[in-house]
Structure 1
Amino acid sequence: MYFYLSIIICTHNPRQDYLARVLEALKKQSLSLNKWEMLLIDNVSDELLSSEIDLSWHPHSRHIREDELGLTPARLRGIREAKAEILVFVDDDNVLDDDYLEVVLKISKDYPFIGAWGGKIKPEFEVTPPDWTKPYWDFLAIRDFEADRWSNLIHHNYTVPCGAGLCVRRVVAEKYNELLRQDSQRTNLDRKGKLLTSCGDTDLALTACTIGLGTGQFTSLGLTHLIPEHRIQEDYLLQLVKEITCSSTILKAIWGEYPNQSSRSQKLFEFYKRLRMDSRSRRFYDASQQGKKLAMQKIAS
């Protein structure tokens, strides 16, 4: 049977109330169920999700168990299993707007030169976050912008969508699969169990540029990111900043943007900048620097 879209939900030990809201939002989609399929990729959850999660409401849904731990292996399994030409990756804490899939389909037709795209991501915090957390919300995949934007240049990062609600053409996903077979280290660029490594989604999106397509973000696409209390704790955010900085530095090297050693004057400038910071800002700065240092070591090896 032909489908316009394949919805791929990759999950590992999901929070049940969050996943229930994700599925409920998919039930409410304005796009007819017969135009899209849904794949729930159970990535080595402790409890078999096929025995716990009812997908019978969707006539074209499947439970799939992927036994290699990691978000990238789970995504690759979804790519192999999907039947449609447009793939939509929905995290297990992403509540799509009711017209999300309909808008995805429209964008795919109106912008044939774009291979990977996403939209606005608004947060729903379990508890009210302290004001000091706001500078770090980008690390929580929160995105807000006022106009559509796209580019086919690899280092135009402002057009690159993140993994929440990521939409890619099959030709991009297949090229990405090919690139990972050539360089297995790239499979370590995203979450694995409790590790906060990231950027596999960016790697996937940027693959569009290698085949002459672009990346984009659109104001008409919207979803809500459910954020539990522990993700706005300082210890969690410090680790997140460190690991994302490490991953993004390695990713830039993969795509030809190698980090340069700081000059003496730059080091002096950074030293004085750090001195002027308050204690919390200094801790986050240090976490970022630790991530860069770790990345440099991995790149060198």
Structure 2
Amino acid sequence: MNDNIFHLTLAIPTYNSEKRLPTLLEKLKNQTFEENINWEIVIIDNNSKDRTALVIENYQKTWDSKIPLRYFLEKQQGAAFARLRAVKQARGEIIAFLDDDNLPASDWVAQAYAFGQKHPQAGAWSGQIHGDFEIEPPENFERIQAFIAIREHGEKEYLFDPYNLRLPTGAAFVVRKQAWCNSVNHVLVFKGRLGKSMVGGEDLEPLLYIHKAGWQIWYNPAMHTYHQIPHWRLEKDYLISLARGCGLCHCQLRFINAKTWQKPIVFARTFLANLRRVIRHLVKYRGQLKYDIIARFEIEFYLSSMISPFYSLKCYFDNKFGNNKVVKT
């Protein structure tokens, strides 16, 4: 086998993960395969302030040389920058992304690679993501669990629905490098959640470009990952901020698959559809929003989605007149 040819790159964008990374790296040490796969691990340190770099340096000293463990520092803050750097550095034809709080099953890498071989038209794919909760989640949490990257969609393969923004989460997903490099050659609007801003969209935007270029996006139930959810991600303030951030990017994401003449229609439909959702939700849960965190999350998401057309206008003018840094591939 040619050592310069890698079938797969396992990419880990990370930030302040000195305590999380060792658990993930131990999981990767124990991956099992039915066929010989030449793969590597690439860690993108997104400007960490803790001892993440030292942790990786110590691991590299004792790492199995058959699986290269490579480290890169990306100083531009944001998940979008980290992923772009991962794609640039990846030597594999397939790039499998794991967040630093994802714990893959022992055959996750093998299943990710096998699916790509089985579906050559797949530009991206993702599997089942289960919750590993530090504390018990609130009642009816399953209604909003997808917003915290928990996806359990059954045991059958299927194509995602990009036109309705039904797509994989940014955690534990896989892309074909050719699909990314040939498709995601745009200015990226969404950079990731930075500081107090919880505006999302950085997960879905590249996938929408990949789909727009003609690639398929699949759900592969054979890939299992466990997402560690600390207690603070179930607290009211965090959940409300998350709901608002997920809603604000809604219209701008829909614009990606729209022709120029369709964008005013998308603008109006997004506003009106979510206005209806807000009204229906208020009628159904009136008197409960103060106490029911799940219902409160949902209406915050609908409200933010309703105003997302106006947020998209703000993004447009900020980018046009240089008031907002953008991400370029």
User: TM-score, normalising length from structure 2?
Assistant: 0.80
Distance 1:211 1:176 in 2: 6
Conserved 8 A contact 2:160-2:219: no
- Output the CA distance in 2 between the equivalents of 1:113 and 1:139: 27
- 1:3 pairs with one of 6, 9, 14: 6
Amino acid at match of 1:37: E
Amino acid at match of 1:287: E
Residue 174 (str. 1) matches residue 178 (str. 2): no
Task: Specify the alignment match of 2:31 in structure 1.
Answer: 29
CA deviation digits over 1:66-95, x for unaligned, max 9?
000000001001111111110011101000
Q: Structure 1 residue aligned with 2:121, among 101, 113, 117?
A: 113
Match of 1:67 in 2: 75
What is the root-mean-square deviation in Å for CA atoms of aligned residues? 2.5
Q: Which residue of 2 aligns with 1:126?
A: 134
Cα drift, residue 268 of structure 1: 5.8
Q: Report the Cα offset of residue 96 of structure 1.
A: 0.6
Q: Which residue of 2 aligns with 1:272?
A: 283
TM-score, length basis structure 1: 0.87
| Aligned mates of 2:196, 2:14 — CA distance in 1 | 12
Instruction: Work out whether residues 114 and 208 of structure 1, in 8 Å CA contact, stay in contact via their aligned partners in 2.
Output: no
2:11–2:97 contact (8 Å) kept in structure 1:
yes
Q: Who is 2:163 aligned against?
A: 155
Task: Give the stretch that moved more between structures: 87-96 or 266-275.
Answer: 266-275
**Amino acid across the alignment from 1:83:** R
Where does structure 1 lack aligned partners over 5 or more consecutive residues?
A: none
Which position in structure 2 is the counterpart of 1:213? 215
Conserved? CA contact 2:165–2:254, under 8 Å:
no
Aligned to 1:46: 49
User: SS where residue 55 of structure 1 aligns?
Assistant: helix
Matches of 1:142 and 1:69 in 2, distance apart? 25
Give unmatched runs, 5+ long, in structure 2: 259-265, 315-329
2:44 and 2:72 in contact (8 A); partners too: yes
Shift of 1:283: 3.0
Distance 1:37 1:134, change over 3 A: same
Supply the distance in 1 between the matched residues of 2:142 and 2:163 (Cα, whole angstroms): 25
The alpha carbon displacement at 1:152 in A equals 7.5
- Return the match for 2:171 from 156, 164, 176: 164
* Equivalent position amino acid for 2:207 in 1: A
Matched residue of 2:185: which SS? helix
- The alignment-based identity, stated in percent, is 25
Q: Distance in 2 between matches of 1:201 and 1:247?
A: 11
Give the aligned residue type for 1:199.
G
Residue 201 (structure 2) aligns with = 199
- With 213-222 and 201-210 compared, the bigger mean Cα shift is at 201-210
The size of the alignment, in residue pairs, is 293
Q: Answer yes or no: is 1:296 the counterpart of 2:309.
A: yes
Q: Cα distance 1:34–1:28, how it changes in 2: closer, same or farther (>3 A)?
A: same
How far apart in 2 are the matches of 1:134 and 1:221?
20
Distance in 2, Cα, partners of 1:154 & 1:233: 30
